Chains A and B, each alone.
Chain A
Amino acid sequence: MTEMVYGTVSVRDGEPVLPKWWRTVDKWSLSCILMLFGTGILLGLAASVPLAERNGLAPFHYVQRQAFFGGLAMVALFLTSMMTPLMVRRLAVVGFLAAFVALAFLPVLGTDFGKGATRWYSLGFASVQPSEFLKPMFCIAAAWLMAAGQELGGPPGRTYSFIMMVVIVMMLALQPDFGQASLILFGWGVMWFIGGAPMLLLIGLAGLVVMGGMVAYNSSQHFARRIDGFLSPEVDPTTQLGYATNAIQEGGFFGVGVGEGTVKWSLPDAHTDFIIAVAAEEYGLVLVLAIIALYTTIVVRSFIRLMRERDPFIRLAGTGLAAMFGVQAMINMGVAVRLLPAKGMTLPFVSYGGSSLIAGGIAVGMLLAFTRVRPQGEIGDILRARTR
């Protein structure tokens, strides 16, 4: 009767948002990301001072900017990670379309900042690199298509996502931005692999790549020289790589001391592509190993958590995001230690860069949203195990 008069007591369906988020989110990965961000600020204090000095700004100008953008990125990360996978997917697909259009109009409206590659939109106070945002959004969209393709009677999602990937890779390669292009390619490849690529086809592709490489090495002198130069232990000390190698050696195990490093003064990209060299020189191997451990934790934990995931879309999207994140970090550090040929790529959350930071925040936020604990409907499995 009371209810008829006063209406029903409004009862929340489910528990409140924040406690639920805190209960289900991967707290280890979250801490790792925060620590990485902190490390970025710490290294920025050392690495961005020469740049500020060159540009006639206050010494910690770039640190302040990094902190500001970092704050924005954290907000984006928390908000995204609180969303449901469905919400993430909807927003991301819309974001993907927006980023794709932005990328398509780059040749007309973009600027190259005198670096020879048109990758940015200048907004006056900051610049935006659409490809940074496109990467995670592409992951979601491709995963959606692939997952839909696995449904009975679904669209040929795998083919659609492949075409999408090829178009984007071509557009990036035309900028040219081979680093981002290879990341997109790799991310798609990982999702394809997890989404059930036939083993035979994979082996065949691997064989083809090896064969092609050997043919190119034997027939093209230019290609062979590049490879030989990369393999040779000698490194030209006047190149960025030479400085980076020297910085890592100078740093040793415990570094030359905070603010005592010299490599940041000679490397133009000390605050972005070669920030790991600054870290190695000033703080030594200890900090570098710690950074590597943080990345490893995030990536491996995400993979392990996704193994339990029953929803194909969440599984694929999460895998793509984690793989891209991990590979970007790996390529950046691999270049500094000459495991990989030189390629301009930022270290996620550590390198300076507004759009890369915010895009990274969104990407990892989505990853966290996907790796949250949720009911998996595995009761069927449990019952089956009982009856057996």
Chain B
Amino acid sequence: MIRTPLRPLARILDARQKGENPDAIERENLRIRHEQMRDKARMRAEGRLLVMAVMFFGAFCVVGARMGMLAASEPAEPRAVHTGASIIASRADITDRHGRILATNMSIHSLYAHPQQMIDPDRAATELAAIFPDLDAAKLAARFNDPKRKFLWVKKKISPEQMQAVHDIGEPGLLFGPREMRLYPNGALAAHVLGGSSFGKEGVHSAEVIGTAGVERYFEDLLRDPAREGAPLQLSLDLTVQAAAEEVLDAGMKLLNAKAAASVLMDVKTGEVISLVSLPDFDPNDRPRPLTEGEAADSPLFNHALQGLYELGSTFKIFTAAQAMELGLVNADTIIDTSGTFRVGGEIIGEFENHNYGKISVEQVIVKSSNRGTGRLALAIGSTRQQEFLKSLGFFDPVPLEMIEAKGGQPLLPKRWTDLSTATVSFGHGLSSSPLHLAAAYATLANDGRRVVPTLLKQTSPQDGPQVVSKSVAEAAQVMLRKVVTEGTASFGEVPGYYVGGKTGTSEKLKPRGGYYKDKNINTFASIFPAHDPKYVLIVTLDEAADMTGDRPRRTAGWTAVPVAAEMIGRIAPLLGLRPDYQLGQLEGVVKVSR
């Protein structure tokens, strides 16, 4: 920048020489500089003023254009604002295998208030409290009189009678919104399978019903899929069978003072679960809250058939025998020495009530339920092959049943699979699994050795699973199971005409801190019927059952689970369409005669 001096020396000297006042020069220069500065500011302001004028003109044009657009658009009927995505309110029904309703929807109303539209909020609050005793008039009035509130829910679900009563108050600020609620017309029946539902997103015009558990939750997307056009979801359950099973199991549980009980009935060909019962149960229309403390298993929400992991005891022996036969190590008549002290990994394995069965055939090992016998077979099989076999029967993974809780049924396996583990697992100790696991494995044996996976959806054709054991081994196993009923531990399991076969299992309950309770047992009866041509598998499990009719409590499965299962089969077999067959007689050897 070049600085021009206000008092240029040349001019000053010149002026002095001429006798003029040099200050005049400075003033003149100042004036010129001021003039220049003002001119510069004016030019700049001129341009900026033009910009402002254009901007204001443009802004006014925008306001005008917006006015025009609004004026040109159609006025819409005033309605409440929809927030977010629209709510899909429709939810498909759930039916049993014969199309009988298990879950459906009912149109009801919700009650909400617009306080600013209210004429007499205090009276409205008093009247509402009279209609709904659970509402507090004072609190309601305070909320109605709050000037900041423009909206509030009064009741989420009201009946037509209540709606009429509210209508009769005549308060314009009380409004009704239509919505659907989920209804389980059979109450507690199949409660654990269905699960339950609650409201998700709630609007004035509709409310979203979402599943909270069971198939309702598992099939959430399917049930709400608009493409299905409301087609009901058909389950494999049979409503009448389910009702009979629940009734019998409930009676058995009470008679035997059991804490809990579970039963699974499965079609061995298709894998369909015909009934799945867990007691105690609940009403899905009024689903209880989950427990916040204590054992989850104490809640009625706990599904013992699916989530309950138990050491299922001697019911496992048949798998050991079947594998040994499959591997060609033995056949049904091979003699096994069950006498003497049997020591594995430093532990002594004994028999029930310290029996000594001597040298008996493999078939008799199952019939008499010999721990030493199966233990010896298992050691002959070896740990690795035993694990592979149990894995192929599905004992290593949760059962892939179509329920959200199925994932919780992850079996508890021995941490290190030692020889002792091999021996104990062979008679069902050291490995905890759910009754449903057992049902699937027995169904595989009953389905002539082909793997069956349980499903809750109605099937039209048999499952084409891989062959786990050969047909002849499976048939031999079926004969053994039949003989357990005719001459073994499950003699109470005989149901005339239905040729029940099965295996009992009694195991002492595990203490939470290790070790076993002496007087708390899990009693299981895994059965197939009819044994000569197995169609169904029934598992009955009782938790802490005891038969108190004798002089001392009898806690074995033969006295508890077996009679309950027999009663159940007697009730449900006719419902399943099975004809009783008295022609074959009671001979144990006739199992395969009909073929």
Looking at chain B, what size class is its interface with the partner chain?
Answer: 35 or more
At the interface with chain B, which of A40-48, A118-126, A130-138, A305-313? A305-313
Which residues of A lie under 8 Å from residue B56 when comparing CB positions?
Answer: 296, 299-300, 303, 323, 326, 330
Which residues of B lie under 8 Å from residue A326 when comparing CB positions?
Answer: 56, 60
A249 contacts B49, CB within 8 Å? Answer: no
Question: Which parts of B61-83 form the interface with A (CB within 8 Å)?
Answer: 61-64, 66-68, 70-76, 78-82
CB of A253 closer than 8 Å to a CB of B: yes
B70 contacts A196, CB within 8 Å? Answer: no
CB distance from B107 to the nearest CB of A (A): 27
**Complex: A235 Cα to B79 Cα, angstroms:** 10
CB distance from A335 to the nearest CB of B (A): 10
Instruction: Kindly report which residue of chain B lies nearest to residue A306, judged by CB atoms.
Output: B49
CB distance from B60 to the nearest CB of A (A): 4
Which residues of B lie under 8 Å from residue A333 when comparing CB positions?
Answer: 63, 67
How many residues of chain A have a CB within 8 Å of chain B? 48
The 8 A CB mask of A317-337 against B (1 = contact, 0 = none) is 001000100100010011001
Identify A303's interface contact among B33, B34, B41, B53, CB under 8 A: B53
> With A292-B64, A300-B57, A337-B67 in contact, do A238 and B73 touch (Cβ < 8 Å)?
no
Which residues of A lie under 8 Å from residue B76 when comparing CB positions?
Answer: 246, 249
CB of B59 closer than 8 Å to a CB of A: yes
Identify B49's interface contact among A280, A288, A303, CB under 8 A: A303
Which residues of A lie under 8 Å from residue B44 when comparing CB positions?
Answer: 196
Which residues of B lie under 8 Å from residue A249 when comparing CB positions?
Answer: 70-71, 73-76
The 8 A CB mask of B92-123 against A (1 = contact, 0 = none) is 00000000000000000000001010000000
**Complex: A337 Cα to B66 Cα, angstroms:** 7
A312 contacts B41, CB within 8 Å? Answer: yes
CB of A105 closer than 8 Å to a CB of B: no
> With A150-B37, A330-B59, A333-B67 in contact, do A193 and B73 touch (Cβ < 8 Å)?
no
Instruction: Kindly report which residue of chain B lies nearest to residue A296, judged by CB atoms.
Output: B60
B71 contacts A285, CB within 8 Å? Answer: yes
**Complex: A270 Cα to B139 Cα, angstroms:** 35
Which residues of A lie under 8 Å from residue B70 when comparing CB positions?
Answer: 245, 248-249, 280, 337
Which residues of B lie under 8 Å from residue A13 when comparing CB positions?
Answer: none
Which residues of B lie under 8 Å from residue A296 when comparing CB positions?
Answer: 56-57, 60-61
Chain A interface, DSSP helix/strand/loop, else mixed: helix
B68 contacts A300, CB within 8 Å? Answer: no
A234 contacts B81, CB within 8 Å? Answer: yes
Question: Which parts of B37-55 form the interface with A (CB within 8 Å)?
Answer: 37-38, 41-42, 44-46, 48-50, 52-53
Which residues of A lie under 8 Å from residue B80 when comparing CB positions?
Answer: 237
> With A249-B73, A250-B75 in contact, do A280 and B48 touch (Cβ < 8 Å)?
no
**Complex: A252 Cα to B78 Cα, angstroms:** 17
> With A251-B71, A292-B64 in contact, do A152 and B37 touch (Cβ < 8 Å)?
yes
CB of A284 closer than 8 Å to a CB of B: yes
Question: Which parts of A163-184 form the interface with B (CB within 8 Å)?
Answer: none
B66 contacts A339, CB within 8 Å? Answer: yes
**Complex: A333 Cα to B116 Cα, angstroms:** 27
Instruction: Kindly report which residue of chain B lies nearest to residue A336, judged by CB atoms.
Output: B67
A237 contacts B48, CB within 8 Å? Answer: no
CB distance from A170 to the nearest CB of B (A): 26
Identify A242's interface contact among B41, B49, B74, B78, CB under 8 A: B78
CB of B11 closer than 8 Å to a CB of A: no
CB distance from A302 to the nearest CB of B (A): 9
B45 contacts A190, CB within 8 Å? Answer: no
A310 contacts B78, CB within 8 Å? Answer: no
> With A284-B71, A303-B56 in contact, do A194 and B49 touch (Cβ < 8 Å)?
yes
**Complex: A300 Cα to B54 Cα, angstroms:** 8
Which residues of A lie under 8 Å from residue B64 when comparing CB positions?
Answer: 288-289, 292
Question: Which parts of A108-148 form the interface with B (CB within 8 Å)?
Answer: none
Instruction: Kindly report which residue of chain A lies nearest to residue B63, judged by CB atoms.
Output: A333
CB of A195 closer than 8 Å to a CB of B: yes
**Complex: A282 Cα to B33 Cα, angstroms:** 59
A289 contacts B41, CB within 8 Å? Answer: no
CB of B149 closer than 8 Å to a CB of A: no
B60 contacts A292, CB within 8 Å? Answer: yes
A193 contacts B48, CB within 8 Å? Answer: yes
Which residues of B lie under 8 Å from residue A285 when comparing CB positions?
Answer: 67-68, 71
Which residues of B lie under 8 Å from residue A250 when comparing CB positions?
Answer: 75
> With A152-B37, A196-B45 in contact, do A337 and B63 touch (Cβ < 8 Å)?
yes
> With A238-B116, A285-B71, A292-B67 in contact, do A330 and B48 touch (Cβ < 8 Å)?
no
The 8 A CB mask of A243-285 against B (1 = contact, 0 = none) is 0011011111100000000000000000000000000100011
B45 contacts A194, CB within 8 Å? Answer: yes
CB of A295 closer than 8 Å to a CB of B: yes
Instruction: Kindly report which residue of chain B lies nearest to residue A285, judged by CB atoms.
Output: B71
CB of A236 closer than 8 Å to a CB of B: yes
Question: Which parts of A48-69 form the interface with B (CB within 8 Å)?
Answer: none
**Complex: A310 Cα to B49 Cα, angstroms:** 13
A253 contacts B63, CB within 8 Å? Answer: no
CB distance from B213 to the nearest CB of A (A): 32
CB distance from B320 to the nearest CB of A (A): 62
**Complex: A251 Cα to B68 Cα, angstroms:** 11
**Complex: A336 Cα to B74 Cα, angstroms:** 17
Instruction: Kindly report which residue of chain B lies nearest to residue A380, judged by CB atoms.
Output: B35
CB distance from A251 to the nearest CB of B (A): 6
CB of A304 closer than 8 Å to a CB of B: yes
CB distance from B192 to the nearest CB of A (A): 41
Which residues of A lie under 8 Å from residue B34 when comparing CB positions?
Answer: 151-152
CB of B30 closer than 8 Å to a CB of A: yes
Instruction: Kindly report which residue of chain B lies nearest to residue A288, judged by CB atoms.
Output: B67
**Complex: A338 Cα to B44 Cα, angstroms:** 35
CB of A315 closer than 8 Å to a CB of B: yes
> With A234-B81, A285-B67, A299-B56 in contact, do A252 and B49 touch (Cβ < 8 Å)?
no
The 8 A CB mask of B200-215 against A (1 = contact, 0 = none) is 0000000000000000
Q: 22 A-B pairs, CB-CB below 8 angstroms?
A: A152-B34, A237-B78, A238-B150, A248-B67, A249-B71, A249-B75, A249-B76, A252-B71, A252-B72, A284-B71, A288-B64, A289-B68, A295-B60, A300-B56, A303-B56, A304-B49, A310-B42, A312-B45, A323-B52, A323-B56, A326-B56, A326-B60
Interface on B for A, CB 8 Å cutoff? 30, 33-34, 37-38, 41-42, 44-46, 48-50, 52-53, 56-57, 59-64, 66-68, 70-76, 78-82, 114, 116, 150
Interface on A for B, CB 8 Å cutoff? 150-152, 190, 193-196, 234-238, 242, 245-246, 248-253, 280, 284-285, 288-289, 292, 295-296, 299-300, 303-304, 306-307, 310, 312, 315, 319, 323, 326, 330, 333-334, 337-339
Give the top 8 A-B pairs by smallest Cβ distance, nearest first.
A237-B78, A249-B75, A303-B53, A285-B71, A337-B66, A296-B60, A248-B70, A292-B64
Task: Supply 20 further A-B pairs (C-beta < 8 A) apart from A151-B34, A237-B81, A238-B150.
Answer: A194-B45, A196-B41, A234-B81, A236-B81, A238-B78, A248-B70, A249-B76, A284-B71, A285-B67, A288-B67, A289-B64, A296-B57, A296-B60, A323-B52, A323-B56, A326-B60, A330-B60, A334-B63, A337-B63, A338-B66
